[in-house]
Amino acid sequence: MADTKKPEMSASQAEILDAAAEVFMRLGTETASIDDVARQLGSTKGRIYHHFPSKGVLLAEVCLRAADFVLKKVPPVITPVATPEENLRQMILTHIPEVLRTLPYHKVIIQSYVGVQQKSTTPLERALFAQVQQERKTYETLFREVLRAGMEDGSFRAQNLSITLQSVLLMINAPVFWYRPRDDEPESFLPELSTQLADMALASLR
């Protein structure tokens, strides 16, 4: 079987992606340019092009890293000995802090869901954006299966699974639209936010 493990990202690549996420978030994926990312880095465009041959590839890699952040954190908290409700709560309590920790990436991926894939012009860009969609589907499937299990054992109300899935994901991703880190933010804020949204999501399912 072929090895599908992703190659390790270099520190330079990670730094470029961090800068690109900030710039794409601030200026928008349509407006931001490689020049803008280079200015954010205090570097040359050549350094960026050494790792990412086009803006489309850079954008796709930002989106892939956004997906990777949550795909690394959430699956380990799912356990077969827990109830669907317990699993879903732990998934939400893990998802929200990780998304807000890497907020620029997730603001970019929200922008990128509409339209950008159709403007990809090279085979590499198209392949990368297809991978973004696949990783999104993989992540959604984690939640879909827990919701399905809860409906089957009666802990969640039986209803349209796809509508339920998208509604839960919209609820737990809502802070991406309005959250802004503050210097005076109490340490308890993110745990309390995560708990409140987990409570709201679970209450909507019972």
| CATH number of the domain to which 126 belongs | 1.10.357.10
The confidence score (pLDDT) of residue 42 equals: 94
User: Does 197 reside within a domain?
Assistant: yes
Distances (CA, A) of 173 to 72, 95, 99, 121, 146: 17, 9, 8, 30, 18
User: What angle separates helix 103-112 from helix 84-101, to the nearest 10 degrees?
Assistant: 100
User: Does 127 reside within a domain?
Assistant: yes
| Cα(149)–Cα(89) distance, integer angstroms | 14
User: Does 86 reside within a domain?
Assistant: yes
Distances (CA, A) of 57 to 62, 122, 128: 9, 9, 7
User: Does 172 reside within a domain?
Assistant: yes
- Is-contact 122 200, C-beta < 8 A? no
pLDDT tier for residue 111 given thresholds of 50, 70 and 90: confident
pLDDT per residue as tens digits for the range 20-56: 999 999 999 889 999 999 999 999 999 999 999 999 9
The confidence score (pLDDT) of residue 6 equals: 61
| Helix spans in 102-122 (H) | 103-112
User: Does 22 reside within a domain?
Assistant: no
Average pLDDT, the chain: 91
User: Does 19 reside within a domain?
Assistant: no
Distances (CA, A) of 56 to 38, 125, 129, 150, 186: 15, 6, 9, 40, 38
Give the total number of structural domains in the chain.
Answer: 1
pLDDT per residue as tens digits for the range 153-186: 999 999 999 999 999 999 999 999 999 989 999 9
Give the domain range for residue 81.
55-205
Cα 93 off chain centre by:
15
